[in-house]
Amino acid sequence: MSEARANILARLRAARRGAVPDRPDWTPPAYGPDRLARFRAMLEAVHGEVIEVTSATWTERLRTLLAERGVTTAMAAPDLGLDAAWAGRGPEVVAYDRPVEAMKDRLVHDIQAGITRARAGIAETGTLVLWPDAAEPRLLSLLPPLHVALLRLGTLADNLSALMAEQNWAAGLPTNLLLISGPSKTADIEQTLAYGVHGPKELVVLVLTDL
Amino acid sequence: MPADRPRTVYFFGTCVIDLFYPGAGLAGMELLKRQGVRVVFPPEQSCCGQPARNSGYFDEARAVALRQMRAFPEDWPIVVPSGSCAGMMKTHYPDLFDGRPQHGQARAFAARVFELTDFLVNVLDVRLDDRGPPLAVTWHGSCHSMREMGVVDQPKALLRQLANVTLVENPREKECCGFGGTFSVRQPEISAAMVADKVAALEETGTARVVSGDCGCLMNITGAMARSGSPMGGQHIAEFLLERIDG
Amino acid sequence: MGDFTARAPKALNDPTLRRNFRRAMDGLMAKRALQFQDRDAWDALRARGAAAKARVVARLPELLEQLEARLTANGIRVHWAETTAQANAIVLDILRQAGARTVIKGKSMVSEEMELNHHLEAHGIAAIESDLGEYIIQLAGEAPSHIVMPCIHKNKAEIAALFAENIEGLGYTEDVDELTAAARRALRGRFAEADAGISGVNFAVAETGTLVLVENEGNGRLSTTLPPLHIAVMGIEKLAERLDDLPALLALLPRSATGQPITTYVNMISHPRRDGERDGPKAVHVVLLDSGRSRVHADPELRDTLRCIRCGACMNHCPVYSRVGGHTYKFVYPGPIGKILTPQLEGLDCAGDQPHASTLCNACVEVCPVRIPIADILVRLRAESIDPSGSAAVKGAGSMRKSLESLTWKGWALMHSVPLLHRLGTWALSRLGNLIPAAALPPLSTWMRVRSRPVFAPKTLHELAREKGYGNE
């Protein structure tokens, strides 16, 4: 309704202009050498799990943690190389390689774990930054009851401001950018926390400390 | 810190104190006088104008505010034994005259306004010698003293100077007592619920007396105490302090 | 005239409701306080957030055009609605063109303003709320009682009974994990089969054309990712100018709302599904709703109302809200923000008593993360409600004017600005005031329902001060 548009903008323009205030300085916190400790403490406080691994150990650690949870079907991007690393000793690894319309049933009912990379982490709030793409689509971190994310320690930033400036987010955002801080939760019933209401019940972050 | 201790101050009595609690006003002036300060009470003063302003009658509020501004002509501090009336004069006088010729006058006036306990602590740096018997009291800070005047710790600092007085803080100190001027009669049921909760919170302290710096709140709280048969009573802090130092 | 005052006693006399709210608000206040213990950090953060939203309000028309241009360039369709009826028609039209029969909804207060669910149902489209709190009240056939926690008025037992009655195969249980799991199961299928998802927006970034949604449950992500069509509805004020305004706003919103450092999910949507991508809706629409907001914007003082980021901290800290609950306000937005927003959107002739339902205690002002001068706006609206000039900015201005009341205030002002009248008046009150029968003064008898009668002192402070020599010079 372009008439609505014109009317709304005309009313807004007819108003007396007010001053446009400057943005005052605000410096979000930084953690220096305690960055990982902060990240871990914040994520654990919201029921997330943080495990330190290296590029040499992570596939095996992932395999055992999936086995501990009885996961038989996981979903991950093929280029993570899990099939090759596990050589048949791990759970079945399904690729999200077709449009959701063709994958919906498996995603909603079968897949027990979604494995994704994180583009970065934020220490202040214990947050993962996900930048879903064709290989690791959006629902991979949402529909399965367990989400495992790989985070390179070198990408851990102090705070959101620093990260978005450093990576120049304003120059181009993906279709969907996600900040994830813990598993899905609700407190709608008497402010009592319950996990896994719509998304994952469990979030595990593997921090690659050598990368 | 009290860099320049004034020799003379004005006292603004407030309309509630004028009619219902004149003892609190006299005590406030006496406390100031004992600090060696000359106290002037201009007889042309009446009310800060807050009731009209809060009811949306801005013209009426301005008329009354102007009268007060004229009643305190000298460049002396204006000490007010009520955080609420002080808040009106300090923050809302300039707003009321925004864009009007008297705006500068209102701002200059506002800059001279002090809440009594703040003045005693931060300007006069008083030292109180408690001569009363051991006693436990609780404190009620008014919303406007806390949130418009920033008066939170000053009255408690005064009470803590009293060697024989134990200050027992109540669990809902920052919650409104439900007075709110005309609110108490425009929303009588909500106001009644609020003051009942307030009295219950004060009673939880196990003290016999609530001390406050605002007589509007006191009228509400002690009125509800009396009506509900509560063992507690209340007192304005100026009267309480004077009573303690006089023993 | 609104009837907030008449509805209040019902809530006040419901001990379960009183207890539910009191406990919930106490918990929320305590959790928020833990987040802002460092006063200096809070002041700096709040100043940054307030400035970000004040800039949006000051530059609203340009920013809306910029937002529209960026969204459109990103492939997101933009629609404008002056009224909720127009917004409903737009949403219905989009759904019909897509052949949609069922809709899954994320939490959106604007959709509550629109009464969108009713509208869609009346046109044969089922709209299912997926936020747990919204789902609960939809089952109960109720409206939200809080803008962040819509079913905060209900306790576990009430929800257990509701679920046992409405969810197949579920017996009565007060176990919160079981109740939550039951809702997950009941809603999973609904998500999978929904033809469209409808959501609100927390911040729309003009610089990048990005819709930002915050949530904890994941239902917002599901609603905006799984169905092939996503429609976002938002008020025209819910903008952020730049992406780098988000860190401060995101640091303020959840901490003020629920005492969380951040919500579990911050969902930033900038495009529909692009070629090669596996999921996400193929079409994304944004409906920009005015519905009175441009009128609020017209007044330089009242427009601060539009800074609101809907955190709910004002209601959590409000001594009135915590006693009467959200339903007493009847309109979509309860509590202090509702008391200033509702009369401006609906008119003082509809909700004119709401600005009076406040002690002006300033608890809301103290916690507002974007520094909305709520108390000053309440007072301004009181003035508008009795403004006789007819030149006022607010719909229904002057509708509460009563000639006896204004005459009384004129008399009051005269007495307090003419010293002789004041001296005579106070002299008479102190001598005769205690003799007036309470029944002759309705406010006095109202006061005395729960309080003793205030007693006039035998002499005024004026007289005593003169006697003691405190008079001038």
> A89 CB near a chain C CB, below 8 Å?
no
| pLDDT < 70: residue spans in chain C | 1-2, 390-392, 472-473
β-pairing, C210-215 vs C203-205, is: antiparallel
In the CATH scheme, what architecture does the domain C58-143+181-291 have? 3-Layer(aba) Sandwich (3.40)
Question: Which residues in C lie closer than 8 A to residue B47 (C-beta atoms)?
Answer: 416
**Mean pLDDT within B207-227:** 97
> C300 CB near a chain B CB, below 8 Å?
no
> A160 CB near a chain C CB, below 8 Å?
yes
* Nearest alpha-carbon partner for B147 in A192, C192, C368, C288: C368
* Cα distance between residue A204 and residue A206, in whole Å: 7
Would you call B19 and C433 a contact, using CB atoms and an 8 Å cutoff?
yes
The per-residue pLDDT for C2 is: 56
**Mean pLDDT within A111-133:** 98
* Nearest alpha-carbon partner for C187 in C228, C154, C220: C220
Dihedral of CA atoms C223, C226, C228, C229 in degrees, nearest 10, equals: 10
**Domain ranges (residues) in chain A:** 32-208
Inform me whether the pLDDT recorded for B241 exceeds 60: yes
Would you call C470 and B11 a contact, using CB atoms and an 8 Å cutoff?
yes
Q: Could you identify the residue written with the tokens 């605002």?
A: B214
For residue C41, give the 3-state DSSP assignment: helix
The per-residue pLDDT for C3 is: 85
Inform me whether the pLDDT recorded for A125 exceeds 60: yes
Locate A4 and state its tokens: 């609505």
Identify the residue among B7, B33, B66, B190 best suited for mutation to test binding to C, counting C beta carbons within 10 A and taking the highest.
B190
Do C229 and C282 meet the contact criterion of CB atoms below 8 Å apart?
yes
Could you tell me which chains touch chain A, where touching means 3 or more CB pairs under 8 A? Answer: C
pLDDT in tens, A136-150: 999 999 999 999 999
* Cα distance between residue B109 and residue B78, in whole Å: 9
* Cα distance between residue B219 and residue C160, in whole Å: 45
pLDDT in tens, C415-449: 999 999 999 999 999 999 999 999 999 999 999 99
Give the closest-approach CA distance of B205 to chain C in angstroms. 19
Interface of A with C in 36-75 (CB under 8 A): 42, 46
* Nearest alpha-carbon partner for B239 in B222, B217, B214: B214
What's chain C's length in residues? 473
Q: How confident is the model at residue B1 (pLDDT cuts 50, 70, 90)?
A: very low
The per-residue pLDDT for B162 is: 98
* Positive/negative CA dihedral, C38, C44, C48, C53: positive
With a pLDDT cut of 90, the percent of chain A lying above it is: 93
* Nearest alpha-carbon partner for C128 in C107, C103, C165: C103
Lowest mean pLDDT among A96-110, B62-76, C99-113, C362-376: A96-110
The per-residue pLDDT for C162 is: 95
Query: What's the topology of domain A32-208?
Result: Rossmann fold (3.40.50)
The per-residue pLDDT for C388 is: 75
* Positive/negative CA dihedral, C373, C376, C378, C384: negative
Do C402 and C410 meet the contact criterion of CB atoms below 8 Å apart?
no
Locate C350 and state its tokens: 């509809």
For residue C406, the cross-strand partners are: none
Tell whether ipTM is more than 0.95: yes
The per-residue pLDDT for C416 is: 97
The per-residue pLDDT for C189 is: 85
pLDDT in tens, B127-164: 999 999 999 999 999 999 999 999 999 999 999 999 99
Identify the residue among C278, C294, C295, C306 best suited for mutation to test binding to A, counting A beta carbons within 10 A and taking the highest.
C278
* Cα distance between residue B36 and residue B39, in whole Å: 9
Question: Which residues in A lie closer than 8 A to residue C228 (C-beta atoms)?
Answer: 101
Would you call C192 and A108 a contact, using CB atoms and an 8 Å cutoff?
yes
Q: What is the mean pLDDT of chain B?
A: 96
For residue A176, the cross-strand partners are: C269
The per-residue pLDDT for C433 is: 94
Domains detected in chain B? 8-122 (no CATH), 128-246 (3.40.50.11810)
pLDDT in tens, C347-383: 999 899 999 999 999 999 999 999 999 999 999 999 9
Would you call A179 and C266 a contact, using CB atoms and an 8 Å cutoff?
yes
* Cα distance between residue C410 and residue C99, in whole Å: 63
**Domain ranges (residues) in chain C:** 1-35+302-401, 58-143+181-291, 403-467
- Each as own residue / partner, the long-range contacts of residues C30-36 (CB below 8 Å, 24 or more positions apart, any chain) are C30/C259, C31/C258, C31/C259, C31/C260, C32/C255, C32/C256, C32/C257, C32/C258, C32/C259, C32/C313, C32/C316, C32/C367, C33/C259, C34/C259, C35/C255, C35/C256, C35/C259, C35/C260, C35/C261, C36/C255
In the CATH scheme, what architecture does the domain C1-35+302-401 have? Orthogonal Bundle (1.10)
pLDDT in tens, B158-203: 999 999 999 999 989 999 999 999 999 999 999 999 999 999 999 9
